[in-house]
Structure 1
Amino acid sequence: MKRDQLKYIIPLVIPLIVLLLPLSAFPFEGITIIQQRVIAIFLLAALCWVFEPIPIYATSVVIIVLELLMLSNKGIYWFRADEGQAHFGELLQYNEIMATFASPIIMLFLGGFFLAMAATKYRLDVNLARVLLRPFGSDPKYVMLGLMLITGVFSMFMSNTATTAMMLSILTPVIAVFGPKDPGRVAFALCIPVAANIGGIGTPIGTPPNAIALKYLVGDSYISFGEWMVFGVPFVVVMMALAWFLINGMYRADQQKIELSIKGKFLKTPKAIMVYITFSATIILWLMGSSHGMNSYTVALIPVAVFSLTGIINKEDLKRISWDVLWLVSGGIALGLALDKTGLAKLVVHSIPFDAFSPYLVLFGAAFLCLIMANFMSHTATANLLMPIMAALGMSMTSLAPLGGEITLILVVTFAASLGMSLPISTPPNALAHATGNVQTSQMARVGIILGVVGVLLSFVLVWLLHAVGHIG
């Protein structure tokens, strides 16, 4: 059988086998039919996200539809025939499953997309890059530092992929200045995706895994936009410095001087000024959540309303929004909903004696598992699969409490998801950089593995310290 055929057959056959197994075949005591169906849907999602027989966003839609058909109180009748029996379990409310398409997390990302689209449309991003790069002179290592810092800042509020594409386009004529064997070509092409991946960690809207984590940071574990940045930004700064030293040390440019020329000027039209004001106001409101009473989800809809009302974002622009990302996140939220509401996540966690293990072992084991998975599959898909289990584990393990409990576990795993950047397939920014032809897979892997491992260890130390001093948790 050909490999291409297997990628279609395996994701279909294994979940079907799980559905046909008797409940006694599962190692979990007291498992219900509904929970068995959730396991099948979970396996289908995991295998489809790994093998990608269909687009990863399509997998999310399939998850939601299957939950509606097989798990909801308005599903197909014969899937509800045994309702009321002890071994059947409790059905989910259909409107809760459908509501994942309009979760507050989705609205937060939608607001971020509107801000990024308006900034690009009115060249705010390019002009900021032009102004911010001036102080870094013409020494290649300092120009690279400036590029990384600017890429990191943009990635906090824009799509990592869009930021990388923009910055690489600015860099194209600069990279051409280096000789064909000058390590500077590698350094400059590699520093952009590394900075984009790291920078996305800085804010809740920087990358989808952050938004997925927020779904589970509720109640006593709630973290606001500003609180996220309290630990996210220092982490980004330290990791960016480490990345700069590492790349500069491994691929030091032979060229002694380069000139980076970015043409353009700030637009002064009424719509451009409105973009500047709205962009600034939204970020300020996000950072000052405790003073005005609005949460980050509510604030996120302000730019959506302003840009739609003023025509800054029109119907043609709406077609270019990354709807696939929103669908992907919503599918993950739906999967988490099923794991939580059916009690399967708690059942799995309680069936394994995690409290018998060292909390450090659990933390590092979960983080490195996430890091490995994120290198070979979508960061968002990785977060979608692991986060519900981590949330249940964090709540059940009493030994994690001195280390920050659920918050520490979720945040460390979330950071690990964004640090998976060792291969061209790990992230779209990596793929874009590799496509330039200036970076080989082995060069990317050397840098990515080092930063991934160091980043996971650093994230644990930082989150634990902030918990110890009372900033979070």
Structure 2
Amino acid sequence: MKFSHSLQFNAVPDWTEHYVAYDQLKKLIFQIEKDKVDAVNNAIDPEKEVSSNAQNQDRFLVQLDLQLEKVFEFYSQKEAELYNKLDSLQHSMPIQDTSYEPQYPNYITPLASLDSTVNLPNSTSSIDEKTSRMSFESRMSTVSKDAHHVNYVEKLVDLRSQLISLYVSLSELDSYVELNRMAFEKILKKHDKVLDADLRAHYLRKMVCESRPFIPHTVQVLHAQIERVEQIYADAFCNGHLALATRQMKTNLRDQIVYDRNSVWKDMVSQERKTLDAHVIEGKPEKVYNIPFTSYTIRSALLNTIFACLFSVILFIILLCVDLFGNRQENYCFALLIFAAVMWATEAIPLYATSLMIPFLIIPLGIMRNADGTQMAAKAASKAVFEHMFSGTIMMLLGGFSLAAALSKYGIAKAFASHVLSRAGTRPRWVLLAIMSVAAFLCMFISNVATPVLCFSLINPILRTLPDGSPVGPCLLLGIALASCIGGMGSPIASPQNIITVQYMNPNPGWGIWFGIALPIIVISLLSCWGILLLVYKPDTAVPHLNRVKPSRDKITKTQVFIVAIFLLTIALWCAETSLEYALGDTGIIATIPLFVFFGTGILGKDDLHAFLWSVIVLAQGGLALGIAVTSSGLLEDIALHIKDGVKDLEPIAILAIFSFLILVFSTFVSHTVAALIIVPIVQQVGQSLPIPHPNLLVMGAGLACCAGMGLSVSGYPNMSAVMMEDQTGKPYLKTKDFLIVGVPTSVIVTLLIFTVGYGVMVAVGF
């Protein structure tokens, strides 16, 4: 939880205005940061710039002093009020009536019975109290006869409520001091980090720690007053049992905190809803249609889902009834293939839900065949499907997720990226190239699903200091998205489509060969994309100098060193997998190293496991199940033979070019992963059917081409993440035209490189 939310959540609602205005100070810091960048871009004289920096720091110090004075005044007022109230209360305590001493030896009897909400632990004190309650009920009639003693009991009840109220208020005052002390520490740390200053240690030592609310003596006195209330309560109502009194009073304090927090939480939710409602009003509200002949309405999104599902099901039924291949298994498998493709393409239901439906349909339809062509029994078919759904490929995907989780959780990826960006300077063109290179590099190891989100957070100091309407923001965000798509070609775990591609490559190329083929394409593609972005957005002209990204100042820990060591070991073994196949057998075995090491040592926990992208895993499993079905039914071979007849006279480079552009079009309009699930198996079978087989060449080329689709905002996870980014006013940075203008030419260039440069390297390595 951010500290601003923590401050709001833990503050006493009635005292909200008297806490440090943390959000206001943070906005001032960001405004000063923006003013500094504007001063550099406006070419102010160095002497004036130094003077401006001093004035900016004075602005912050003035506001900080005002906040400190506000805390001092409120604390002094509240302290005097509560301490005086406690003194007055102690002096006016009711005097025990000695004439009834045999019946009332102490105050625990009448008051304990009134506290029906406290559940005490099973102890001697609690047993005594229960006994006192029973005796109180038998004696209450005697007390009620005397009006004087009724009044006496009322005074005791009033005393108890006042003591509890004082205890709660004093405890809240103690929390008030601690929260404000943390607020000063946090805001000064933020100031020094954002503005490259060194104010925190001096101001805390000379100003905050010397201010009366925060000096140790004041805190000690406050704690003494809280203990004083506990002792008075114990003497009055608990027969001197201090521990029992403390438990009772803390129970009331806890109830008050829960009530306050619930109130604050409701207010925060209400404000968030108002904010979201405001954004909805600014955008286009979702259309609602009336259902004919009824009083009901239906949302357009739900209507589209229903139509897509109905279309898919009707098409599925029609294809089941049409004999296209002269073989029932092939006909049914083709119907399933088209049904899954349409469901995935339209996203009628979530992609992973469609994947879960595939194995359910494979078995009842009797699609699987034995080697002799007969229909496979349901039990054997189920076993074959499930064996393919959890393979070494899926384990490699899980291993990649564990590496990504550890690198992100312990700030290793962010620290690396921030150090690289801090050396990129302030010129927009070099910052753009640096962040694109970082995005592409990180994608190789933490996937192009998670990398864009990390990189967007890294450039936040730049985005918040840009002038309104500056083209630099869209340029940087689009650069990260496209670089992440390009970087998705970098390694077998860089993107889900690569995982699927590796499944259809025999022998497995290993990380070393994959790097050798993909890196030249990535480097040239990145430079080409960078050039297109500079031509379209002209960032240097719009903003000559950007805010410099600050490197991480956190010290390197032993845990981080250990994580990096396991990371390097895993990557090294993956690169050497081909030569170690005799001992390890499969890349999935290597993937278990980070899994059992990180989870076994507690570096990753249950929550991290839950955070894995299980939807991507299930999507890949569904694709693998569909792949074994189209292979076993003979459909894949039949389709490949038909395609082979049309391309058998073409050179492999021409065949690769045809498939690359086919996949480019397909992956532009639907998910990259879906494109790989549907087309890569066909490409592999075509490659095997050629006069001179080149299955690995065509499969890897097709897999790389799946990453080339970048022309729309829905083309791949990075683009979908980028289009959701908004500025401080809630306005999106990017529109569909931005992806069309830059993404389409970049996609074409990447595809050309795949079947030219990539083809040359793949032939050189023997594909």
Instruction: Answer whether TM exceeds 0.5 for this pair.
Output: yes
Aligned: 1:302 with 2:590 = no
Indicate yes or no: 2:342 matched with 1:14. Answer: no
1:105 aligns with 2:400: no
Q: Secondary structure at the match of 1:70?
A: coil
Shift in alpha-carbon separation, 1:114–1:267, aligned structure 2, 3 A: farther
Shift of 1:290: 4.5
Amino acid at match of 1:438: Y
Provide Cα deviations, 1:248-295, integer angstroms capped at 9, x if missing partner: 121121211112334534554443332121112212222233554445
Note if 1:245 corresponds to 2:531. Answer: yes
Asked whether the equivalents of residues 411 and 463 of structure 1 are also in contact (C-alpha less than 8 Å), the reply is no
Secondary structure at the aligned position of 1:93 is classed as helix
Cross-structure match for 1:412:
701
Quote the offset at 1:5 in angstroms.
3.1
Cα deviation, 1:140-173, whole Å, max 9, x if unaligned, reads 1111111011111111111312110111122223
Amino acid at match of 1:109: L
**Aligned 8 A contact 1:374 1:426 in 2:** yes
Q: Quick check: 1:201–1:210 contact (8 Å CA) kept in 2?
A: yes
Distance 2:647 2:573 in 1: 41
* Maintained 8 Å contact 1:416/1:452: no
Deviations 1:407-434 (A, max 9, x none): 2221221122111111111122112212
Q: Tell me whether 1:232 sits opposite 2:518 in the alignment.
A: yes
Q: Alignment partner for residue 377 of structure 1, among 670, 673, 676?
A: 670
Stretches of structure 2 that go unaligned for 5 or more consecutive residues are 1-290, 292-302, 726-731
State the 1:229 CA deviation. Answer: 0.7
Distance 1:356 1:121, change over 3 A: closer
Q: Secondary structure at the match of 1:182?
A: coil
Provide TM-score, normalisation by structure 2.
0.56
Alpha carbons of structure 1 residues 87 and 280: separation in structure 2 relative to 1, 3 Å: closer
Percent of aligned pairs sharing the same letter = 27
Distance 1:462 1:126, change over 3 A: same
Structure 2 letter corresponding to 1:309? G
Name the SS for the 2:734 alignment partner: coil
Matched residue, 1:445: 740
SS in 2 for 1:298: helix
Deviations 1:40-69 (A, max 9, x none): 211111010011111001111111221133
Q: Which has the larger radius of gyration?
A: 2
What is the deviation of 1:228? 0.6
Looking at structure 1, the residues matched to 481 and 712 of structure 2 have their Cα atoms a distance apart, in angstroms, of 11
Q: 1:289 aligns with which of 577, 582, 596?
A: 577
Aligned counterparts of 1:184 and 1:258: Cα–Cα separation in 2: 9
Q: Structure 1 residues 256-265 or 60-69, which shifts more?
A: 256-265
- Preserved CA contact (<8 Å) 1:34 1:90: no
- Structure with the larger RCO, 1 or 2 (CA within 8 Å, 6+ apart): 1
User: How far apart in 2 are the matches of 1:472 and 1:238?
Assistant: 23
Q: Once the 2 structures are TM-superposed, how far is the Cα of residue 356 of structure 1 from its aligned partner?
A: 5.0
Structure-2 separation of matches of 1:141 and 1:329: 38
Cα deviation, residue 355, structure 1: 3.8
Residue of 183, 190, 196 corresponding to 2:471 = 183
Q: Is the 8 A contact 2:448 2:495 kept in 1?
A: yes
**Alignment counterpart, residue 617 of structure 2, candidates 309, 326, 332:** 326
Aligned partners of 2:748, 2:382: CA distance in 1, in Å?
A: 41
Task: Indicate conservation of the 8 Å contact 1:223/1:472, yes or no.
Answer: no
CA RMSD of aligned residues (A): 2.2
For 2:548 and 2:395, the matched residues in 1 are separated by: 37
Contact 1:408–1:463 (8 Å) recurs in 2: no
Corresponding residue of 1:117 = 405
**Separation of aligned partners in 2, 1:467 and 1:165:** 32
CA distance in 2, matches of 1:203, 1:458: 17
**What amino acid is the match of 1:59?**
T
Query: Cα deviations across residues 197-242 of structure 1 (Å, max 9, x unaligned)?
Result: 10110101101111111111114xx311111111112211111111
Q: 2:632, 2:599 → 1: CA distance?
A: 36
Work out the CA distance in 1 between the residues paired with 2:591 and 2:550: 31
Stretches of structure 1 that go unaligned for 5 or more consecutive residues are: 74-82
CA distance in 2, matches of 1:354, 1:152: 37
Question: Any residues of structure 2 matched to 1:191-230 within 5 Å, and which?
Answer: 191-219=479-507, 222-230=508-516
- Identify if the C-alpha distance between structure 1 residues 169 and 17 changes in structure 2 by more than 3 Å, giving closer, same or farther: same
Aligned to 1:341: 632
Matched, 1:392 2:708: no
Paired AA for residue 761 in structure 2: L
Partner of 2:718: 429
| 8 Å Cα contact 2:329-2:367 kept in structure 1 | no
Higher mean C-alpha deviation, range 112-121 or range 44-53:
44-53
Please give the per-residue CA displacement for 1:60-99, whole angstroms capped at 9, x wherever unaligned.
11112211333378xxxxxxxxx99x99655663212012
1:103-130 per-residue CA deviation (whole Å, 9 max, x = no partner) reads 1110011000000001111001110112
Worse-superposed segment, 33-42 or 315-324: 33-42
Aligned partner of 2:661 among 345, 348, 368:
368
Query: Which moved further from structure 2: 319-328 or 165-174?
Result: 165-174
- In structure 1, what is the equivalent of residue 437 of structure 2? 149
Q: 1:431 to 1:468 in 2, by over 3 A?
A: closer
Once the 2 structures are TM-superposed, how far is the Cα of residue 317 of structure 1 from its aligned partner?
1.1
- How many equivalent pairs are there? 450
Cα gap change, 1:364 to 1:292, in 2 (>3 Å): closer
Q: In structure 1, what residue type is equivalent to 2:619?
A: L
| Aligned residue in 1 for 2:239 | none
Q: Tell me how far 1:132 sits from its aligned partner.
A: 1.8
Separation in 2 of the partners of 1:310 and 1:109?
21
Contact 2:329 2:633 in 1 (8 A): yes
TM-score relative to the length of structure 1: 0.90
C-alpha distance in structure 2 between counterparts of 1:467 and 1:35, whole Å: 33
Query: CA separation in 2, counterparts of 1:97 and 1:291?
Result: 30
CA distance in 1, matches of 2:504, 2:436: 31
Task: Tell which deviates more after alignment, 135-144 or 268-277.
Answer: 268-277
Amino acid at match of 2:449: T
Partner in structure 2 of residue 79 of structure 1 = none
Structure 2 counterpart of 1:50: 345
CA separation of 1:459 and 1:90: change in aligned 2, threshold 3 A: same
